[in-house]
Structure 1
């Protein structure tokens, strides 16, 4: 092998393959390269293997995501292999083959890459390849399509023995460029990175072309539940998602993701969907994320909503019973405890699919994997019969000790993980700071603001759509508020934490305060908070998981400041809403609390909009000194910033104050006149 570092080509190839949905899916598959490095102890050249490590993603792979092993030591393991019954022990042995610090943790597929003689190896999960791998006559189809260029390897659970099997096939078939792995995927190899990638793509393209050319139409049967029109479909989904999220969170709280792409809508509307869905997925990467099978609604999309909700509850109870029975059929004394009996995928005829996960990303990815599974079923049924690996094999992988160890290596979740926050006035000032803090603590955040551009900017600051989305909303408009909460539900499956922060202020003495001034401030803060709380409460009650409403009020709710009638009265209204709603919603496990800041000058949209100038005029100080003036009148002599208010919101919702409701927390650096009595 040449004395060059092969990881540049390996990572570039991985990125290309990982970015192509026809090739593989998120975190699916692995790639490798062999080359020569220098042993820093002996100074001698050493044959090495670089392979994507456990849990990594091809599309975003970096050098740190590669496991690096000495090839001689890895291959020497074959001489001490204790057999299939003890092959899991070989994963621990990989640690003794690491070169230097070794990079990422080696995955279960490391043996496949190290034992095959070729310098470059790809193991991938393309839909077309898995369609052949799960076809009842997949072996015959492989021979028909590829001749001796691609060889069939019967299903075997990933591990050391599978690596030995593929290496033996490669040696016995010198003309072969790769294999179809029964029930699983494909593996290809090449003399250099370009040849390996080209062969992977050749296998995928050839399989795809065959399925297109020879596949029969409508393998899922006739369309029996056409999709609802888009508006009605999304309205229906928004009504069902909170209920489904509450059900899917019976064992542990989940985030939801809604999908109504053409592929999904076609599948869920077909006559054979229930029959095929019951067979479950096959590729290990698929069912580890989607569970052994989905939950399927057996009512038409136009069934009455209350009837549908009632039926979903019945189906969920039956699903949990079935899953427990599945676990008990296959578990033995060494099996890990059951991880939860709730579905990860729910199929709704005429509406779409809901997927669930511990984060928004894992929920989205679970849905993407089920779309892959739909494509696999379509391909297999088009040319043969879909025949996934049997249930016992699925259980062996789902409750594999090595999979359990991988789960235990995951970092502890952040305090607000699985929580969905809806922040009004999130485009600037206090709302922006609250959105940032909640996202930093693990929440999915819906940034709601009348200024759509400002909301979009803050959402982009927080991260991808898996972390935050922006919605435009005028909180004085009931229809707009309803639409904004519906958008939040469609984005993340529901809402858990609502921050009523939208506000404005007009500083005038009584005789200069107009009816318009009064109405505008009460419309935004008193009426707006009511409208948001009312719509959010519908979602929280449907979910049945409790939740938090937090009002960003003001010290002016209890402190009679000068020339401030309309603002102070609107804030007092908000303050009493906290008490009233705490009393009303406590029975649903919903906590309602408030935060009372003093004048937050820096970063405030209200102060920048003219309020600061008027308050400075009232107090007779330059506007640029207003924050300092406010600080000096406090007991602590400290200026209140947006971040301090955000800290209080997190303190109320982060998990330590589980028995606190109806409380107002002052964040004013100590204004004695605003002490709560």
Structure 2
């Protein structure tokens, strides 16, 4: 069934507005359209409103993300409205205004769209508009900027009463095309979709021009000596060194995924004299501080401070932050308030280096950083023409611990078993490693796809969902420098590393007398030495994070089974198998579990077998290469062929949360090879 023309026009307008970050932030704001539809019962005409539903994003909005309501019922709610003290009750009433199945869940801003007497309404959160909304003399500046065509509406928490307020403002000001909502954003309207969009953009661009022409050139003050941005290479080295410690700060209450931003706007803000004062004032727009918390944690040291000094100071500031946040909660909570959700910062600012942001997954962490960048832009605009004056702390608390927000959080699906965990898988560009990476992402992890073949790694990362799910690194596991670089890339992409799978390898299948010292060294360099180097770097990150962790070795049944013509490969696998036991004993005090998986010959999908190993092993056993998988299966107790997915299943079983008290274990995935039973 094709979309209603008004709904189709609304989606197109929403996409255009949402595509430009100057217009609104991710998942921020909402748009609506009114028109005539058909009553599914009577077949008669009915006046409807299509409006972006709760939690949607304008730039990616689909028809399924629209709530569809009957206007007569929605507007009839004014007759039963119990007043501002009980306005939250009206949200439940929206469900009784839905048309047919209703589409998406109506958002808190539904009343604003329905009660305003205009066919089309846009409510947006542009940085320029919020700068006026959060200026100390925002009402005066709004009048100077727009005359009487855009009207000031004092701060009011989003809800039914705000909808009534805006409707009254429009009725009293027929010349107006929209309004600036104090401490919040803008709303515009029009008789057609085109007119509404034009009015929204007029408000946004006019405010931008006003701030640029009227504003002071350096609203954040002079540069503080020593707080300037470090050179790019040095800056990212420092960020990578700090990242695991910063993640520990953000994850005391619950583990978080991280994102790093060293954009020019962030670095300039942190280099300037006014940044401590402004950061302490916190963000203002409700969309901002719901994702960034009421204020960030700011490291108060120059970028040149020694690393150990910076780490020690971070810990001190974190203790103070938690105490201050608990006091903030205690100042404003009452007996009906939801429990405190955690006292760790969502944003950590490091002068000269950049911004670390955190969330339940990579997208949430990235968006939190984008919102704080919005907040910096708002502060710059407000300070340029006035002074930044966000809404009162008590009002911020009312939003952050709003019963409706709590209900929204409770409606979220349960997190997947590996949510918030960051995995690095070596040899993940093909075969077993690719299957492991795919399974870990499916279970909620972020994955660093590490492989000697960078093109394969990039292809797998893209298949897994792109940078919010997986990133690719090219790494030779025999190189200490490249391994360190891979972990630097991991912590900058996701904040840290929690789960490492040593899977990279080759296989040299020769009799003893044909095995050269070069063969032996190459086999051991890649798998024994490489696994050691990767595990050592992983342990450095994991101990700094203080979140525990998992290291899994993909060993082999050959680690315990003595087969012919396989001296270099099998000896290396035995080395890996004992590394599991040694590291389990050493790293247990840090909560790091080390386990192994012992597969039998994985033929289908295997890079090693495709590279010549399969032909050589087939020759040893006297079977055609294409029958090698069947041959391996028939010598097992279960008569089943082992596939890459079966190995991936074992990795998940070891790391997915059910075996929390298991370390030093090797799990056979060989369909039952009695000679390889562990004793």
* 1:246-285 superposed matches below 5 A: 246-285=248-287
Q: Deviations over 1:414-438 (max 9, x none)?
A: 0000000000000000000000000
* 1:11-410 superposed matches below 5 A: 11-224=11-224, 225-410=227-412
User: Hey, what's the Cα distance between the residues in 2 that align with 1:496 and 1:521?
Assistant: 27
Indicate conservation of the 8 Å contact 1:246/1:544, yes or no: yes
User: Hey, what's the Cα distance between the residues in 2 that align with 1:583 and 1:16?
Assistant: 57
User: Hey, what's the Cα distance between the residues in 1 that align with 2:389 and 2:247?
Assistant: 31
Q: Deviations over 1:467-523 (max 9, x none)?
A: 000000000000100000110000000000000000000110000001111011100
After superposition, the Cα gap between the structure-2 partners of 1:323 and 1:597, relative to the gap in structure 1 and judged at 3 Å, is same
User: Hey, what's the Cα distance between the residues in 2 that align with 1:510 and 1:289?
Assistant: 62
1:496 matched to 2:485? The reply is no
Question: How many Å apart are 1:464 and its aligned residue?
Answer: 2.1
For structure 1, which segment, 577-586 or 139-148, has the greater mean C-alpha deviation from structure 2 after superposition? 139-148
Choose from 574, 577, 593 the match for 2:576.
Answer: 574
Question: In structure 2, what is the equivalent of residue 669 of structure 1?
Answer: 671
Q: How many residues are paired up?
A: 675
Indicate conservation of the 8 Å contact 1:5/1:37, yes or no: no
Q: Deviations over 1:648-668 (max 9, x none)?
A: 000000000000000000000
Choose from 529, 541, 560 the match for 2:531.
Answer: 529
Question: How many Å apart are 1:5 and its aligned residue?
Answer: 3.3
User: Hey, what's the Cα distance between the residues in 2 that align with 1:16 and 1:607?
Assistant: 50
1:508 matched to 2:548? The reply is no
Q: Deviations over 1:516-551 (max 9, x none)?
A: 110111000000000000001000000001000000
1:506 is paired with a residue whose SS is: coil
Q: Deviations over 1:286-315 (max 9, x none)?
A: 000000000010011111111110000000
In the alignment, structure 2 segments of 5+ residues that lack a partner are none
Question: How many Å apart are 1:215 and its aligned residue?
Answer: 0.6
Question: How many Å apart are 1:79 and its aligned residue?
Answer: 1.0
Question: In structure 2, what is the equivalent of residue 448 of structure 1?
Answer: 450
Question: In structure 2, what is the equivalent of residue 636 of structure 1?
Answer: 638
Indicate conservation of the 8 Å contact 1:53/1:106, yes or no: yes
Indicate conservation of the 8 Å contact 1:4/1:36, yes or no: no
1:243 is paired with a residue whose SS is: helix
2:272 is paired with a residue whose SS is: coil
User: Hey, what's the Cα distance between the residues in 1 that align with 2:457 and 2:518?
Assistant: 27
Indicate conservation of the 8 Å contact 1:447/1:455, yes or no: yes
User: Hey, what's the Cα distance between the residues in 2 that align with 1:490 and 1:610?
Assistant: 37
User: Hey, what's the Cα distance between the residues in 2 that align with 1:151 and 1:78?
Assistant: 23
Q: Deviations over 1:242-273 (max 9, x none)?
A: 01111211111100111000010001111110
1:459 is paired with a residue whose SS is: helix
In the alignment, structure 1 segments of 5+ residues that lack a partner are none
Query: What's the Cα RMSD here?
Result: 0.7
Q: Deviations over 1:165-212 (max 9, x none)?
A: 000111111110000000000000011111111110000000000111
1:558 matched to 2:566? The reply is no
Choose from 621, 624, 632 the match for 1:622.
Answer: 624
For structure 1, which segment, 245-254 or 391-400, has the greater mean C-alpha deviation from structure 2 after superposition? 245-254
User: Hey, what's the Cα distance between the residues in 1 that align with 2:397 and 2:180?
Assistant: 22
Question: How many Å apart are 1:223 and its aligned residue?
Answer: 1.2
Indicate conservation of the 8 Å contact 1:501/1:551, yes or no: yes
Indicate conservation of the 8 Å contact 1:435/1:447, yes or no: yes
Q: Deviations over 1:372-416 (max 9, x none)?
A: 000000000000010000100000000000000110110000000
User: Hey, what's the Cα distance between the residues in 2 that align with 1:34 and 1:526?
Assistant: 67
Q: Deviations over 1:542-565 (max 9, x none)?
A: 000100000000000000011000
User: Could you state the TM-score of these two structures normalised by the residue count of structure 2?
Assistant: 0.99
User: Hey, what's the Cα distance between the residues in 1 that align with 2:469 and 2:231?
Assistant: 29
Question: In structure 1, what is the equivalent of residue 549 of structure 2?
Answer: 547
- Could you list the runs of 4 or more consecutive aligned residues of structure 1 that deviate by over 3 angstroms after TM superposition? none
1:6 is paired with a residue whose SS is: helix
2:5 is paired with a residue whose SS is: coil
Question: How many Å apart are 1:4 and its aligned residue?
Answer: 5.6
Indicate conservation of the 8 Å contact 1:550/1:594, yes or no: yes
User: Hey, what's the Cα distance between the residues in 2 that align with 1:649 and 1:249?
Assistant: 24
1:353 is paired with a residue whose SS is: strand
User: Hey, what's the Cα distance between the residues in 2 that align with 1:4 and 1:525?
Assistant: 61
Q: Deviations over 1:98-121 (max 9, x none)?
A: 111111110000000000111100
User: Could you state the TM-score of these two structures normalised by the residue count of structure 1?
Assistant: 0.99
